[in-house]
Amino acid sequence: MPTFYGTEVTSRLMLGTAQYPSPAILADAFRRSGAGIATVSVRREASGDQAGQDFWALIRDLGVAVLPNTAGCYSVREAVTTAQMARELFDTNWIKLEVIGHADTLQPDPFGLVDAAAQLAEDGFEVFPYCTEDLVLCERLVEVGCKVLMPWGAPIGTGLGLNNIYGLRSLRAHFPDIPLVVDAGLGLPSQAAHAMELGYEAVLLNTAVAKAGDPAAMAQAFGLAVQAGALAASADPMDARDMAAPSTPVFGKAML
């Protein structure tokens, strides 16, 4: 199982906690998926009202690791402040860092992301940066202290899957010792399995489960797909080839 900042988690699947039809369905989705990490928006929890307290009690009852995020932050200052709030609320140094740079695509701001990651790492945070598959950006993030990278598969909530397989494969080859997590854009379990087949440690998703007709069943499907993809990657799969090769030996075949 993957290890993040020295902590081994119980599953290669991370699930978000937003947009579910009800708390009961959210809890059932986590149970059936076997997800090991729940991402939680700080804004949703920070109000301190009864609804927020009930939600936090539900997350605690799931028995999974909590990864607070800075979702919706468009500036370094906003992201850093939100991360500091998260550490107080959830008593963890883990933070999924989002610094959004484009309102339509929700693409990360690479400059702000590196700046915020540097400040947070200096302050003792263990940063999980939501980034693109750009090698230069990822190198900068590692240089400032990030020991996990979370490149997107596609823009958040689109369900487009792995838009740049070459880029994701290159990232895996370039950072063989850094845990990599495909974060955002997955819509089908087959896409999650593909990410694992590329050698990634985990996947993170929310919308594909929460907005499914049966969220709990879809969560279970993603959980199984992640297991299948990881097992396939460890089994040393065959290389693709351009020419056909017979699967049945021709030696000893009767000559007519």
Cα–Cα distance between 13 and 10 in angstroms, integer?
9
Whether residue 203 has pLDDT greater than 60:
yes
pLDDT, tens digit, for every residue of 225-242?
999 999 999 998 888 888
Whether residue 191 has pLDDT greater than 70:
yes
Give the other-Cβ count within 10 Å of 236's Cβ: 7
Task: State the pTM of this model.
Answer: 0.90
211 labelled catalytic: no
Q: Decide: helix, strand or coil at residue 13.
A: strand
Cα–Cα distance between 43 and 246 in angstroms, integer?
58
Question: In which band, very low, low, confident or very high, does the pLDDT at 199 lie, cut at 50, 70 and 90?
Answer: very high
Active-site residue among 96, 147, 211, 253? Answer: 96
Tokens of 235: 């089994």
Cα–Cα distance between 35 and 133 in angstroms, integer?
24
Which residues have CB under 8 Å from 30's CB, separation 6+? 15, 38, 62, 64, 219
Q: What DSSP letter does each residue of 28-63 carry, written as one string? A: HHHHHHT--EEEEEHHHHTT-SHHHHHHHHHHHHHT
pLDDT, tens digit, for every residue of 129-168?
999 999 999 999 999 999 999 999 999 999 999 999 999 9
Provide the mean pLDDT of the chain: 92
Going by C-alpha positions, the residue among 206, 239, 210, 203 that lies closest to residue 224 is 203
Tokens of 135: 């090698």
